[in-house]
Amino acid sequence: MNRAFRRLLILLVFLCMMGFLLVACNDDGDEEGAENEDTTENTDDGEEGKEEKAESGPQAGGTLTGAMYSAPAGMFNPIFYEEAYEANILSFTHDSLVSQNESLEFIPSLAKEWETNEDQTSLTLKLEEGVTWHDGEEFTAEDVVFTYKSMSDPDYVSAGGIRTAYVLPLLGYTAYSSGETDTFEGVVAEDDYTVTFHFEEPNINPLYYASFPIIPEHIFKDIPVAEMPEAAESRDAGAVIGTGAFKFTEMVEREQYILERHEDYWQGTPYLESIVWKVVAQSVMTGLLESGEVDFIADPNGIPPADFETVQGFGNIEIIEQPDFGYQLLGFKHNHRTSEDVEAGALEPDNWVPNEKLADPKVRQAISYAVNREGLVEGLLYGRGQPINSPIATQFWAYDDAAATNYNYDPEKAGSMLDELGYVDANGDGFREDPEGNEWVLNLDYPTGNELREKTAPLLKQQLEEAGISVNMRQPKEMTAYVEELTNDNTDWDLYLLGWSLGSADPDPSGLWATKAAYNFSRWNNPESEELMQKALKAPEAFEQDYRAEVYSEWQTVFSEDLPALLLYAQNSLWAYNKRLQGVEPLPYTMYQDAHLWWVNDAN
Amino acid sequence: MHKYIIRRILVFIPMLIMLSIIVFALAKAAPGDPFTGKILDPTVDPEVFNEQREALGLNDPIPVQYFRWATSMAKGDFGESMYYKGRDVQSLISERIVNTVYLGLFALVITLVVAIPIGIYSAKNPYSPLDYSATTFGFLGLAIPNFFFGLIAIYVFAIKLGWFPAQGTISNIHITGFSEFLNRIHHMVLPGITLGLAGTATYMRYMRSEVLDVLGSDYIRTAKAKGMNDRNVLYKHTLRNAIIPIITLMGFEFGALLSGAIITEQVFSYPGLGTLFINSITNRDYPVIMSITLLLGVAILIGNLLADIFYSIVDPRIRYD
């Protein structure tokens, strides 16, 4: 008994240590915002595929093996899934009404045409006829209504659903989701092949809201929304039903996910017999690509920049390289919240406490000049990325390179700017003091979970110190702990590192940079920016894309002068596939496009 | 003896309750909750997560949350995972535990089969060439990190030579019956050896020093003086005495068997409890953290109980009343 007790104590101590260790230094890699189904695509290699097609036409048959580094959590219902790993599989099994082309315009998918009314408060879509679900039932407008109705259900959020962004602007959403009424007015079936979306207010990007994958009514109609997540129809191979080119037929949970072609696919029977997804450790990935055991690796990770040249040297692998929609940033805490507001969870800009250490925009600009972003891209990304100047992805029509200040590495300029502002080294300790002669030390915080970002922090410290700015780089925190402190910011944080992965649907930056946005971790409060962001979304002027582009261009100028954050770089996505695979037509946001046209040249 | 065992098992209960309270408190003390890490998706309104927190009772006082968990646990309900939506903890654990136990046993068998004979041989022939090479191997085995050995093994035996599969537990779902068993063993070879490597080295060193120690003791000299042959001295007298520390080690091993081998599992994409445990900590998946910890606690307690029972079998001087 005594001995056993002592051992239990040892076990406890061990577990505690392990717990702390894990909290302190866990490394997962996929904690950044999950990718959305509305993400991206690209186009470099399309031509090559076509050439080879000309040599010998597509052959039917064959199996393709794809890899992902982490197993999906196991939720294969589009309205409830959260992670990019499920999105991989769902993009083959489910279709949406509309999709996006390489210029990010919405194009027909399950809906063949559409029109909006005068003030864009409604959108009517004509659906493709003769589309069948994997189980042979016909797809109709009722399925569309059912999908959006389920996402507006009073139980949707408490059951774990998070995609409310797609239903919030629908007419009568609040009344329906709060249970006040049983009539769902947001999406209405006019007949079997016509469906209308009604919006509460004029909507500048109505097709975005129609771009969500559709789930089958006949499968789910008897399952209450609250029970959908645990239903076999949401998670079991064979029971998950979509309209996509491939059916999810089998799985060895957390190891293999097998998709077989949907013979009656509405765009034609896919060439490939099946696609097998395998979960593979990142450390052996390149070896398996070389040996041909894995045919492709793409979203959400692709191959690491450090392996680019190795993989390119294999000879049997094609690499698609294109900029990602997300970016990494060095954030400046403009304001902190008071402890009372943090406690209450309130975002009241009036109560915010300005961060004196970074209050002057000129100081933030000087810091930005002291950062060698090109060097980071070269050194950390092996050149597989680029510094960007505004928080709008370069692929968007709204990106305006000329509007934003380019903070080219210029340590001398940084130094002279700080000198002018009175930040000089008065006491000879090698670091600048603030104009009053007080010590001026900037705290730098950063999370674990992204190896490149972790390596960025010490480099930044070094670069800033070369400009005479004293930086107190603190221990990195595990992502969950980090986000909590980032959110509850009644702290002494000054500089922070963060990355965003963003979708391709719309460039509207207000989700991250509006004053009262929860994700505005800099607590940036700039009335001019606020006004421009709202102006860009205001109907009816904003129905015109050119008008919005102009407003965003002005906004980018404001952003880059006031600097809530210095954007460090946008990494390139590096997707790789074996040359036996033909017919790949990547889009800026995904490689998984028109998979029914994929074929392998060794099928027979 | 029976009384002793029953008494020991009864003592488990307060220990496990203590363990659960401490782990619960620690898990809650870690910053964040299952939703904090998720919020970095700009298309998702953070308000959604507050609603889900409310629905899961995460806003209640911690003692209330503990008692809610403990009551359902007492009823045999492990609860529902907060991270894997709609999955109950039982199914998550049972799905992985099979893999983990198989792999652990496989590694243990490799360890014992290799370590004990070599240990004995080294002790009987100390400072022989084989002893020296075993010692060298032993230190190498302890010094090489698991993940490194695993990667090398994958590169050489899976990718270059193609003898063994590199990843996973089974080739595909259609293999059944005896060929399924063979296929699983085939998949287990590389991770099994990787996992067993450090253990082999430890056991070998233990075995060697214990046997050496016992061989030098008085009763062995007596046995030899009686004219007993070497073989009998070794098997009847030496081994029985030398094996006791090994049993203690194995008592611990029983718990380690279940805790899985996080690094090995990750290198070989082998879905086991270790990975689940790590992920549940990362994601603050409280019900899963609690269940696995308790499971480990039970396993270690049982392992120790078994070890104590074995002592009395191996060494008749040890008696429990």
Q: Would an 8 Å CB–CB cutoff place A23 in contact with chain B? A: yes
Residue B77 lies in a domain: no
- Contact A565/B at CB under 8 A: no
Q: Is the residue at B43 inside a domain?
A: no
Q: Is some CB atom of chain B closer than 8 A to the CB atom of A12?
A: yes
pLDDT at A30 over 80: no
pLDDT of A40 reads: 38
The closest CB to that of A480, out of B31, B49, B55, belongs to B31
pLDDT higher than threshold 90 for residue A548: yes
For residue B142, the domain's CATH number is: 1.10.3720.10
**Which of A281, A291, A483 is opposite residue B36, by nearest beta carbon?**
A483
- From the list A22, A500, A518, which residue is nearest B281 (CB)? A22
- Closest residue of chain B to A77, computed from CA coordinates: B85
CB pairs under 8 A between A and B: 210
Which spans in A439-526 are helix H? 451-466, 479-487, 510-513
- The percentage of residues in chain A with a pLDDT greater than 70, rounded to a whole number, is 91
Q: Look at residue A2 in the predicted model and tell me its pLDDT.
A: 52
Q: Is residue B53 in a domain?
A: no
Query: Average pLDDT, stretch A338-359?
Result: 90
Residue B55 falls within a domain, yes or no?
no
For residue B186, give how far its alpha carbon lies from the nearest alpha carbon of chain A (Å).
16
Q: Answer yes or no: is pLDDT of A412 > 50.
A: yes
* Count of the separate structural domains present in chain B: 1
Residues on chain B touching A512 (C-beta within 8 angstroms): 42
Contact B301 A8 (CB under 8 A): yes
Comparing CB atoms, the residue among B11, B155, B162 nearest residue A1 is B11
**Are the CB atoms for A114 and A128 separated by under 8 Å?**
no
Interface contact flag, A22 B296, Cβ < 8 Å = no
* C-alpha distances out from residue A64 to A175, A501, A579, B42, Å: 47, 27, 11, 33
Average pLDDT, chain A: 88
For residue B84, the chain A residues in CB contact (below 8 A) are: 73-75
pLDDT digits (tens, 9 = 90+) for A62-96: 999 999 988 888 899 999 998 888 998 999 999 99
Q: Which of A20, A208, A225, A255 to mutate to test the interface with B (most CBs of B within 10 A)?
A: A255
Query: Does B38 reside within a domain?
Result: no
DSSP string, A530-545: HHHHHHTT-TTGGGSH
Answer whether B32 sits within 8 Å of A484, measured CB to CB. Answer: yes
Query: Is residue A168 a contact partner of residue A209, using CB atoms and an 8 Å limit?
Result: no
Report pLDDT for A139: 96
Say if B214 falls within a structural domain: yes
How many Å apart are CA A476 and CA A445, to the nearest integer? 7
Structure tokens at A538: 């205001």
Token duo for residue A403: 């509007």
A295 φ, ψ (degrees, to nearest 5): -95, -35
- Quote ipTM for the complex: 0.84
E strands within A162-252? Answer: 187-191, 194-198, 246-252
CA A248, CA A418: separation in Å to the nearest integer? 60
User: Between A34, A157, A258, which is nearest B48 by CB?
Assistant: A157
* Angle between helix A527-535 and helix A545-562 axes, rounded to 10 deg: 160
Q: Do A73 and B84 touch (CB under 8 A)?
A: yes
CA distance B294 to B23: 9
> Is residue B82 in some structural domain?
no
Residues in contact with A98: Cβ distance below 8 Å, sequence separation at least 6, in sequence order: A106, A107, A108, A109, A110, A111, A114, A125, A207, A210, A211
The 10s digit of each residue's pLDDT in A216-253 is 999 999 999 999 999 999 999 999 999 999 999 999 88
- pLDDT category at B269 given cuts 50, 70, 90 is confident
What's the mean pLDDT when you consider all of chain B?
Answer: 86
Q: CB–CB of B267 and A500 under 8 A?
A: no
Which one of B4, B43, B170, B277 makes the best mutation probe of the A interface by having the most chain A beta carbons within 10 Å? B43
Of B46, B169, B282, the CB nearest to A518: B46
Q: Calculate the dihedral angle through the C-alpha atoms of A536, A541, A544, A549, rounding to the nearest 10 degrees.
A: -30
Tens digits of residue pLDDT in A179-202 = 999 999 999 999 999 999 999 999
- Domain-located, residue B18: no
CA distance A572 to A3: 57
| Residue B208 domain boundaries | 89-314
Residue A158 to residue B51, Cβ atoms within 8 A:
yes
* Angle (nearest 5°) at CA A384 between A380 and A386: 90
- Give the burial class of A601: count Cβ atoms within 10 A of its Cβ; 0-12 exposed, 13-18 middle, 19 or more buried: middle
pLDDT for position A178: 92
